[in-house]
Amino acid sequence: MSLSLFDLSGKRALITGSSQGIGFALARGLAASGAKIVLNGRSADKLAAAATQLRSEGFSVEELLFDVTDHDAVRKAVDDFEAATGPIDILVNNAGMQHRTQLEDFPADAFERLLQTNIASVFHVGQAVARHMITRGAGKIVNICSVQTALARPGIAPYTATKGAVANLTKGMATDWAKHGLQCNGLAPGYFDTPLNAALVNDPEFSAWLEKRTPAGRWGKVEELVGTCVFLSSDASSFVNGTTVFVDGGISACL
C-alpha cells in the first residue's frame, strides 16, 4: 500500500482542546504528516504558547479561540474562519474533562459540565464544521472517545456515560453524513500519561494496578495515538465509517 494514502499535505485540521495533552500531541502528529493545524482552546495564553511551540518546529499553525460548549460561538467561529481562511478538511473533537466522585455523591453541576464539555461540544463543533464539509462533498471527523466508552471504573460513572454517548453520536454522524462524502470515526485512548490523568499517574497504587491490568504492562504515551489519528484523517480510511478504534494496550480485550 502506498504511503501517499496517509499524506495530509494540503489539508487543514481543527483540533479542539489542543493547547495541551492528547489534543496537542495529535495536532503535532497531524502537522508532521503534512496538515495545516488549527489549534483551539478557551485560554488565549495557553493557545498562543502551544502555537509558538509548534511553529518553532516548522509547522503551519493557526489559532481559533472559542468555547466548545457555546453553540452560537462555535458556529460563528467556524463560519468566520472558513470564509476568511479556507476549508477545514479534518476535525478532531478532542475537548473533554473529567470529574471523579462516587456516584451517590456526584454533584449535579459537575454532571452537567461533563455533559456539555464531553458530549454537547462534539455536536456543536461537529455540526458547524460538517455543514461546510457537506457542501464540498468530503471531510474527516475524528471524535476522541475513551476506554470508558466500553468499560467502567468506580468514581467516574457520568464520565463513562458521556464517552459511551460520544461513540454512539459518532455512529449517528456516519449514518447521516457518509452519503455526503464524510468519514466520521472514534478514537478511544486507554490510560495515557496526560494532565487529565495526573492524579492517577501520581498514585503509585493505581499505577501498579494499571500495569498489571493492561496486557502491554504500562501507561500509554500520547505519541502512540498519532498513527491511528492520521489513519482516520487520511485517504487510507476512505471506507471506514462509524467505528471506534481502541488504542489502549489491550486493556479492553481482557479480564
Where in the sequence numbering do the catalytic residues fall?
A: 159
User: 238, 35, 8, 2: which is closest to 137 by C-alpha?
Assistant: 238
User: 77, 92, 82, 130: which is closest to 8 by C-alpha?
Assistant: 92
What is the distance between the alpha carbons of residues 78 and 84, in angstroms, rounded to a whole number?
10
User: 147, 128, 144, 113: which is closest to 229 by C-alpha?
Assistant: 144
User: DSSP 3-state helix, strand, coil percentages of the chain (rounded to 5)?
Assistant: 55, 15, 30
Q: Find where cell 462533498 sits.
A: 137
CA of 219: how far to CAs of 147, 185, 207, 208, 222, in Å?
13, 24, 8, 10, 10
Q: Find where cell 461513540 sits.
A: 167
- C-alpha cell recorded at residue 206: 493505581
What is the distance between the alpha carbons of residues 169 and 173, in angstroms, rounded to a whole number?
6
What is the distance between the alpha carbons of residues 197 and 199, in angstroms, rounded to a whole number?
6
**Are the CB atoms for 151 and 214 separated by under 8 Å?**
no
Handedness of CA 141, 145, 147, 150 (dihedral sign): negative
